[in-house]
Amino acid sequence: MDVIWNLTRVCPWDCAVCCVSAFHVCNTTEYIVQSAQKEKDKELTLAEKLTVLKILADKNFEIDFSGGDPLYYDEDFRVVEQVTRWLPSRKIGVSMTGSKITDAKLELLKKVGIVEFTLDNLPERENPFRPRGFNFASMITMKKCVTTGIKTRAVTVLYSATISEKNLEAIYRWLCENNVSEWELLRFYPVGRAAKLAKLTPSNLEYLKVMKFLRGFHGFTKIFFQHSLRIIEKVLKCPAVIDSIGIFPDGQVTACAWAIDDDCCPFKGFRLGKLPEDDLDKILDKARKIPEYSKRAEFCRTIAYVRRKNKMEGK
């Protein structure tokens, strides 16, 4: 079972395409600091996070820590530090931002299987959907990780501002030149704050075309496509509940980590329960008996849900 665990919604960045509608903390204006703190108060405490972690580690699940920035707070750092004692490194991933990398973070990241940074475009290319400096920070930190011997993966979300062949060629060239070992291409989910940006979503034909183009790249960096892109190719089916779940910062368990409304809650029908108070085995057993999740769908349930919702709302 793969678990994507968004440890926090708090983040030093404020991307317009953020799935979890992250709370921005870089700015020191009182209002922003207060609202981030208010949000932080809704998240699980360190003790609760460690309880959840123990439950997941005892089941030998694979965990990808995400956010917000999952290493922004010291207590989340401690959660990731703890998991390195309980699970082998190959079962641990961290998807973080390039902001405020420290020697302590680099030391910790040496003990995990893979560390991911989003890189939607090189800094010289305009992208109004990522804040200025975001990609530059990812690049600097990726270089540090590679030099430190950390297995590093770049992640690019495919939407209308990023999907051009020129943009992808430039990113790939940079990744190869800087010895970044892996590059994963992600489908765009118009969820969370990005729900307002559904118009950026490529068509299935555009996704298929760009995947074909990317398969022609044969440099140092190995290319992967997110499972939901492979679903468009009809070679995979939806793993929700059977092979993967998501956990949100307040402990809500969701059938799919991308089924997120603009308040970082699961979409209707995706919420399975809440940790640590609910029994995870019971949650999963119950969910797998629901006809909806008893077998793998041949389509992405989250995208299908968003399309239905947008149609009903006349968008």
66 vs 228 by CB, closer to ligand SF4: 228
Shortest spacing between CB 186 and ligand SF4, in angstroms = 10
Q: Pick the stretch among 37-45, 114-122, 142-150, 223-231 that binds ligand SF4 (CB under 6 A).
A: 223-231
Residues 6+ apart with CB under 8 A from 125: 167, 170
Q: Pick the stretch among 51-59, 153-161, 207-215, 238-246 that binds ligand SF4 (CB under 6 A).
A: 238-246
Q: Structure tokens of 299?
A: 């389509």
Query: Applying CB under 6 A, does 184 fall inside the site for ligand SF4?
Result: no
Query: Applying CB under 6 A, does 192 fall inside the site for ligand SF4?
Result: no
Query: Applying CB under 6 A, does 258 fall inside the site for ligand SF4?
Result: yes
Query: Applying CB under 6 A, does 228 fall inside the site for ligand SF4?
Result: yes
144 vs 296 by CB, closer to ligand SF4: 296
Query: Applying CB under 6 A, does 19 fall inside the site for ligand SF4?
Result: no
Shortest spacing between CB 242 and ligand SF4, in angstroms = 9
Q: Structure tokens of 33?
A: 């600091």
Give dist(CA 155, CA 157) in Å, integer.
7
Q: Are 244 and 223 in contact (CB under 8 A)?
A: no
Residues 6+ apart with CB under 8 A from 167: 121, 122, 125
81 vs 206 by CB, closer to ligand SF4: 206
Near ligand SF4 in 269-308, by CB under 6 A: 300-302
Shortest spacing between CB 244 and ligand SF4, in angstroms = 5
Query: Applying CB under 6 A, does 231 fall inside the site for ligand SF4?
Result: yes
Give dist(CA 13, CA 36) in Å, integer.
12
Shortest spacing between CB 258 and ligand SF4, in angstroms = 5
Number of amino acids touching ligand SF4 (CB under 6 A):
12
Interface residue list for ligand SF4 (CB under 6 A)? 227-228, 231, 238-240, 244, 256, 258, 300-302
